[in-house]
A and B are shown apart, each in its own frame.
Chain A
């Protein structure tokens, strides 16, 4: 499991490779917060290479969303597979996040 961060235009894109769970959620949180501290405002987390997410991982996404919004920024999500879509629907987090089918659509939506 790992997280890679790169800039596409004005958007910081984070790829989550593997699981986003209790053992690694702080690493993702810190990486995004570091970018936020540098002044970045637009964030996209891409789950195309993600296995599963537990409640801790979902909690980190909620927390990041709040912190980014407080700084006047935006967090968007892309490429949820069917399992992840189900998870977001079960927890109704699909109503809290702006979710796109593809990275391209998400990037265009900023």
Chain B
């Protein structure tokens, strides 16, 4: 298995106002490991924002007092983000909606998981001391 290091490990209050700060930190790490400009400015910011807002608004139900943990792990082959909330969890496959179909195109909601899966190489969901969403982007 490739050696990996934790690029950051944060616990934030369950409040969407904290998302931009975490995303900016993630972008810095992406630039440091020389990911492509598009991965730094589109794939990672959007996918991580979706994972964090899901964790805050759905997992933790926007409840004060709860927290979200977010870790970035870098190996020679991958960049991985793990977002952990205090909710019951969900099935990524089951909950992903194809927002591009004619009946879904004009819906206001339902694009979050779809975008995460389009913009990351792998999106997984499992339980480990909370509900974990793991986003993996392969490094070139």
Per-position 1/0 for B80-113, Cβ under 8 A of A: 0000000000000000000110000111111110
Partner of A55, one of B16, B17, B106, B115: B115
Closest chain B CB from A18 CB (angstroms): 8
Q: Is the interface of B mostly helix, strand, loop or mixed?
A: helix
Contact B19 A86, beta carbon cutoff 8 Å: no
* B118 vs chain A, min Cβ distance (A): 5
When the two chains form their complex, are residues A59 and B41 in contact, meaning their CB atoms are under 8 A apart? no
> Is A98 located at the chain interface by the 8 A CB criterion?
no
Q: Are B49 and A54 in contact (CB under 8 A)?
A: yes
A92 to B115, CA, bound (A): 12
Partner of A62 from the list B17, B20, B106 (CB cut-off 8 Å) is B106
Bound-state Cα–Cα, A55 to B115, Å: 8
Q: Is A33 part of the binding interface, using a Cβ–Cβ cutoff of 8 Å?
A: no
Contact partners of A1 in chain B: CB under 8 A: 20
CB-contacts of A48-63 with B (<8 A): 51-56, 58-60, 62-63
* A54 in complex: contacting residue of B41, B50, B107, CB < 8 Å: B50
Inter-chain contacts of B50 with A (CB < 8 A): 54-55
CA distance A83 to B115 in the complex (A): 13
Q: A93 touches which one: B17, B105, B119 (CB < 8 A)? A: B105
The 4 closest A-B pairs by CB, nearest first: A55-B111, A83-B42, A59-B108, A92-B100
Q: A56-B53, A92-B105 are in contact. List 19 more A-B contacts (CB 8 A).
A: A19-B45, A21-B49, A22-B16, A22-B19, A51-B41, A52-B46, A55-B114, A55-B115, A56-B112, A59-B107, A60-B108, A62-B106, A82-B38, A83-B41, A86-B38, A87-B42, A87-B46, A91-B100, A93-B105
> What residues make up the interface of A, taking CB atoms closer than 8 Å to B?
1, 19, 21-23, 51-56, 58-60, 62-63, 66, 82-83, 86-87, 90-93, 95-96
